[in-house]
Amino acid sequence: MNVTVPPIPAEYDAYRERLRQFIATHKPSLDWKPRTGLRVPETAADVEALKRWVGALYDAGYVLQRFSEQPLDEFEQRILTEELARTGIPYVLGNPLVGGALVAYGTAEQKATYLPPMARGEHIWSQLFSEPNAGSDLTGLQTRGRLDGDDYLIDGQKVWTTWASWSDFGYLLARTEPVAGAAGITAFVLPMNLPGIDVRPLREMTGTTDFNEVFFDGVRVPASNVIGKPGEGWKVAAASLVTERGGVGAAGSGDSVNGLVRLAREHQRDGRPRIDDSSVRQDIGAYAARSRIQKYLSYQVATKAANGTIGAADAPLTKVWYSELNLEMAEYGLSLQGARAALAEGDPEAYQDGLWQDMFLYARAWTIAGGSNEIMRNLIAERGLGLPREPRGS
């Protein structure tokens, strides 16, 4: 049994130094304010700057493993993701999950056309899955694709689409076959500049605009844009959804624990730092335990992935664990601030310019997105534990 990550050998120092210099030279300055969560730039100038940034990285040979079919040097990848994460700005633009679908089900031509520009940041993608009437029950989606000659005509509506207003292509699920449920669904590559597509930014409870609504009115898309075969869309999508749920849990919460300690040091109650209050110390200890367990769970998932023994309950478990811990820690972060928690971003007295208030609001996204936690619990109980399935309505 072993979870130690081999230390990066000294000969890689030169690579890191080169990369740091590259970042110092090319890192764009943005209007955008870093926040927790999957956040999207709000101006075209930021998007253009980010595209140039990702393109420059790629052209200089700083390529992420997820965008390469060749296995890349493991130590270089670690250094690359560490250093890019430290910049605090995105280095993957849009929602790249279509990549997995294309690798598994795409034609050679589709792969050649779409994968390299996605890696270079030239093409920004978004995922067109959720609908107003198909959230938890995604197989009930109603967006239609009607075959008309060599094209499909798409009509319907999607929602909760990140990056849609800046995206060049959409990874679309639509109902093309005359059957209900999963078997009627087909996956498409949808160029977002086609006539009949209307993207409307959606302002969320955070006050920021990270999602969109997307409307389709007779959008004509060639049948050659189908990923896999007509009616296989659910299979195509299943793999990427699993990745997304696992991905939610991969985000760390260790930083937030340190943030809570800092908050408790910097705020007082009745003249005493909150960190001296034994009930606060107990709470921080409890959050720290859950945060560390999240890390241990990731070791277990990585081991199962390597051994091919991932079970149906594993991704839902990680998703529930992370999203609920994240929400509780954000709420606790506010409670440590006392009345100051009433201030938000923009007030000069707000702690860390309202970072925790934004985290508190955005945390609500994670318990819903990628399959609500209630659906995750159904999956754990039914597919993980083998309890009887929920009865289905007609």
Partner 1 sequence: MDFAFNEDQELLRQTTRRFLENRQSLQSVRQVLESDDVFDRSVWRSGAELGWTAMLIPEDYDGGSVTDQPLVDLAVLAQELGRVLYPGPFIPTNVVADALAASGSEAQRKDLLPLIAAGESVAAWCTTGDGSPYVRSVAVDATAVPDGYRLDGVARYVHGAGSADVLLVAAKSEEGLVHLLVPGHSVGVDVRRLVGLDLSRRLGEVRFEAVPVAASSVVGTAGAEGEAILARGLRLASVLQAAEAVGAAEYLFQATVQYAKDRVQFGRPIGSFQALKHRFADMHISMEAMRVAAQYAALAVADGQPDAEEAVAVAGSYVKEAFSAMCGEALQLHGGIGFTWEHDVHVFLRRAKTDQVLYGDPAWHRERLCQLIEAATAVENAK
Region 363-382 residues binding partner 1, contact defined as CB under 8 A: 374, 376-378, 380-382
**Distance of alpha carbon 118 from alpha carbon 93, whole angstroms:** 8
Choosing from 57, 257, 329, 359, the residue that interacts with partner 1 (CB under 8 A) is 257
> 383: which residues sit within 8 A by CB, 6+ positions away?
312, 313
**Torsion-angle region of 162 (φ positive above 0: left; ψ -120 to 50: alpha; else: beta):** beta
* Binding footprint of partner 1, residue count (CB under 8 A): 46
85 sits near partner 1 (criterion: CB under 8 A): no
Per-position x/- string for 306-345, each x denoting binding to partner 1 as judged by CB under 8 A, each - no binding: xx-----x---x--xx------------------------
Choosing from 142, 224, 258, 335, the residue that interacts with partner 1 (CB under 8 A) is 258
289 sits near partner 1 (criterion: CB under 8 A): yes
Region 89-148 residues binding partner 1, contact defined as CB under 8 A: none
The separation between CA 214 and the C-alpha centre of its own chain, rounded to angstroms, equals 19
Q: Annotated catalytic, 244?
A: yes
Select 301 or 369, whichever has its Cβ closest to partner 1.
Answer: 301
282 sits near partner 1 (criterion: CB under 8 A): yes
**Distance of alpha carbon 197 from alpha carbon 207, whole angstroms:** 25
Choosing from 48, 200, 292, 347, the residue that interacts with partner 1 (CB under 8 A) is 292
Per annotation, catalytic residue among 42, 76, 232, 244 = 244
* CB 90 within 8 Å of CB 157: no
Q: Tell which residue, 216, 220, 226, has the closest CA to residue 148.
A: 220
Q: What would the DSSP string read from start to end of 70-114?
A: SPPPHHHHHHHHHHHHHHTS-SS-S-TTHHHHHHHH--HHHHHHH
The secondary structure of residue 276, as a DSSP letter, is G
Per-position x/- string for 32-61, each x denoting binding to partner 1 as judged by CB under 8 A, each - no binding: ------------------------------
284 sits near partner 1 (criterion: CB under 8 A): yes
Dihedral in degrees, nearest 10, Cα atoms 384, 388, 390, 394? 120
Residues forming the site for partner 1 (CB under 8 A):
1-4, 257-258, 261-262, 275, 278, 281-282, 284-286, 288-290, 292-293, 296-297, 299-300, 302-303, 306-307, 313, 317, 320-321, 374, 376-378, 380-382, 384-390
